[in-house]
Amino acid sequence: MKPWNIVGRLRRRSRALGRITRALKLFVPMCGDVVKGRYRPPPWPAFGWMLAALAYLVSPLDLIPDWLLLLGVVDDMVVVGWLLTKVDRSLDAYRGWRGFPVMEEGDDEGEF
């Protein structure tokens, strides 16, 4: 991709934002189904990625400190967003179980 291809970059970012939104909407119902025993085996990678995202969000240790106002917040958004795209990828089997469309491996470039 050429560096001046802004449309392509925005399209990839919008797909990543869609994956983040989908992960957040699907994670809580998935937890309920796992706790109630309706969905087995539990998607442990999804739990791990979500735990990592929450830990990074509340941790005082960052790649860029939060006291650098704009950069610190952007750093948190990028890292947590990337981790949430990993959560969404880990929920593909659950999404199929619920009857929602599952994205194929090559359909998405959910890199942040």
Sequence spans of domains, the chain: 6-98
The mean pLDDT value for 100-104 works out to 75
> Is the pLDDT score of 66 beyond 50?
yes
* 65 compared with 4, residue with greater pLDDT: 65
pLDDT for 9-21, tens place per residue? 656 667 778 888 8
Q: Who wins on pLDDT, 28 or 111? A: 28
Of the pLDDT bands very low, low, confident and very high (cuts 50, 70, 90), residue 112 is very low
| Confidence (pLDDT) at 111 | 44
Centre a 10 Å sphere on the Cβ of residue 95 and count the other Cβ atoms it contains. 16
Q: Give CA–CA dist 92/43, Å, rounded.
A: 10
Contacts 24+ apart (CB under 8 A), 61-70: none
pLDDT tens figures, 71-97: 877 888 888 889 999 999 999 999 999
